[in-house]
Amino acid sequence: MTIALIDYGAGNLRSAEKALLAAGAPSVSVTSDAAVVARASRILLPGVGAFGACIGALRALPGMVDALNSAVISDGRPFLGICVGMQLMAGAGEEFGTHAGLGWIGGTVRRMKPGPAYRIPHMGWNHVTPRAGSLVAPGDVYFTHSFAMQDVADADIAGTADHGGPIIAAVQRANMLGVQFHPEKSQAHGLDLLARFLAWKP
């Protein structure tokens, strides 16, 4: 098994790498090389920061988006997007302007609306409720975000959380999984999810 953790300057790479190894990964290639991603059997895209900056940094890596489209969409290799990495799977993001995403899942990433008892950013532990057949399990996970995916087809919503109303906590389609929360910060529950991803045969 070859695991590519994409380094585009926008993720908690060391934490994600350590969590993958703790979850049973034999090794992890932290890489910004499209050729390594093109050969990988499993691909992870972390993400921290603004949507526009992240998609711009990803597209700035020579050949990376083409390698991702080939490996994930054409070849069907298992993919996991984490936090902004999940958001980049959307059709567009509206953080500091409107920016086109990868367009794998559809929907739009928009700013969450705060309420009197619900602050933005949504930061800390919250319960995730999965849909039937999702790779996600019910339990408490760690979130830190101000924007969330919206207008996603019901069939692609893999899990939700409640923060002043329902938010999309996970999306899943075919070989693609995205989680708005951080498995690498979610202790045993997060490691269990990563272990299921490593064993996943979509």
Round to whole Å and give the CA distance between 35 and 89. Answer: 21
Active-site position among 54, 83, 122, 163 = 83
Count of C-beta atoms within a 10 Å radius of residue 86 = 28
Round to whole Å and give the CA distance between 25 and 91. Answer: 31
> Known catalytic residue: 163?
no
Q: Tokens for 3?
A: 């695991």
Round to whole Å and give the CA distance between 24 and 192. Answer: 10
DSSP strand pairing (122-130 vs 157-162): antiparallel
> Known catalytic residue: 54?
no
Half-sphere exposure of 173 toward its Cβ, with a 13 Å CA cutoff?
A: 15
DSSP strand pairing (157-162 vs 176-179): unpaired
**Separation in Å, CA 187 to CA 18, 56, 90:** 12, 31, 27
Active-site position among 17, 122, 184, 189 = 184
> Known catalytic residue: 83?
yes
* Sheet order of strands, 147-150 included: 99-100, 92-93, 108-111, 147-150
Question: So which residues are the catalytic ones?
Answer: 83, 182, 184
